[in-house]
């Protein structure tokens, strides 16, 4: 006997919320997204969006979610969705064992470390142009009959009031209020957008973090990791320091021209919260890995919703 389609309300229109909404709509559910910020206003649009499990735990679940997302992005790279599969290198200050998430990528291999570093590995990773991709997700949701509506919610609906409705909470930092969860906290990330330089691979030094991620029309250069910093205003001094670090890693950036500055607040939590609470499913706290975990988390959300249909 087939499952009964449900009406699902997804709270939050960042990459996690939209991906969950698309996955649920593909399953046949009636999905409506409610959000204070529309997709191109969310933290997700600021992300360099290099596939990489950053500031997200627990390791076993994160690896599994990341592996699912990797496979989906590999498929989406064949469509006009803003996704490319690009080679790149992570550099390390000392000899290091393979990363705990190594099983999630098919081609990780040791490589020669640049001067100033003791170790390095390379692999092919999805790189996502977030403005393009968020538009694609929203268009895909609309194609499936779903909606996105701007609204400010004072709280999540109480489970006892939902009836046949299901709520999926993907509100990120908003869960401090909506789910009364003080464990989710901001980690401020600032990036610089530069043009005038053409790169065909990404670079990462997670210790900074310092990352250089090419898009089709510019390069995203980061970054920062400001714990409990709520400021969304770019700092000129920080931008200068970011460019200095990044140029040491990728000397070609010396010829680049700054075309923009962005700040986003990552929703960091001791562990990603993905669980069902009655007819409410929580899916937030992905830290700096919202894009990386998005399709894996969405698939688990789909499984939890199916339990209710």
pLDDT digits (tens, 9 = 90+) for 141-197: 999 999 999 999 999 976 566 666 999 999 999 999 999 999 999 999 999 999 999
pLDDT at position 25 is 98
pLDDT band for position 74 (50/70/90)?
A: very high
pLDDT at position 266 is 97
pLDDT digits (tens, 9 = 90+) for 238-284: 999 999 999 999 999 999 999 999 999 999 999 999 999 999 999 99
List, as one string, the DSSP characters of 104-169: G-S--EE-PPPTT-SEEEEEEEEEE-HHHHHHHHHHHHHHTT-EEEE---SSPPPGGG-TTEEEEE
pLDDT at position 1 is 40
Q: Are 287 and 269 in contact (CB under 8 A)?
A: yes
pLDDT band for position 2 (50/70/90)?
A: low
Longest dimension (CA), the chain: 63
pLDDT at position 309 is 81
Contacts of 25 (CB under 8 A, 6+ apart): 31, 141, 144, 145, 146
**71 pLDDT higher than 70:** yes
pLDDT digits (tens, 9 = 90+) for 31-56: 999 999 999 999 999 999 999 999 99
Average per-residue pLDDT for the chain: 95
């Amino acid at each position: 006997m087939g499952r009964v389609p449900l009406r699902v309300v997804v709270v939050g229109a960042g990459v996690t919320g939209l991906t969950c909404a698309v996955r649920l709509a593909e399953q046949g559910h009636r999905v409506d997204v409610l959000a204070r910020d529309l997709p191109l206003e969310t933290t997700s649009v600021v992300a360099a969006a290099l596939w990489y499990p950053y500031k997200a735990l627990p390791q076993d679940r994160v690896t599994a979610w990341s592996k699912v997302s990797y496979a989906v992005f590999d498929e989406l790279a064949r469509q006009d969705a803003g996704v490319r599969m690009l080679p790149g290198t992570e550099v390390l200050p000392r000899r290091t064992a393979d990363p705990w998430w190594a099983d999630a990528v098919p081609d990780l291999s040791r490589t020669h470390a640049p001067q100033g570093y003791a170790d390095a590995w390379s692999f092919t990773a999805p790189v996502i142009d977030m403005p393009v991709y968020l538009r694609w997700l929203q268009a895909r949701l609309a194609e499936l009959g779903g909606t996105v509506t701007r609204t400010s919610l004072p709280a999540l609906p109480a489970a006892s009031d939902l009836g046949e409705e299901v709520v999926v909470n993907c509100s990120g930092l908003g869960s401090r209020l909506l789910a009364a969860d003080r464990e989710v906290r901001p980690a401020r990330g600032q990036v610089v957008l530069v043009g005038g330089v053409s790169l065909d691979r990404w670079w990462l030094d997670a210790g900074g973090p310092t990352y250089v991620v090419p898009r089709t029309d510019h390069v995203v250069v980061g970054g920062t990791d400001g714990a409990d910093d709520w400021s969304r205003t770019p700092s000129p001094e920080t931008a200068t320091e970011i460019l200095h670090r990044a140029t040491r890693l990728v000397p070609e950036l010396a010829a680049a021209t700054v075309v923009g500055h962005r700040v986003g607040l990552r929703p960091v939590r001791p562990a990603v919260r993905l669980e069902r609470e009655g007819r409410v499913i929580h899916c937030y706290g992905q830290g700096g890995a919202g894009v990386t975990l998005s399709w894996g988390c969405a698939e688990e959300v789909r499984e939890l919703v199916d339990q209710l249909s």
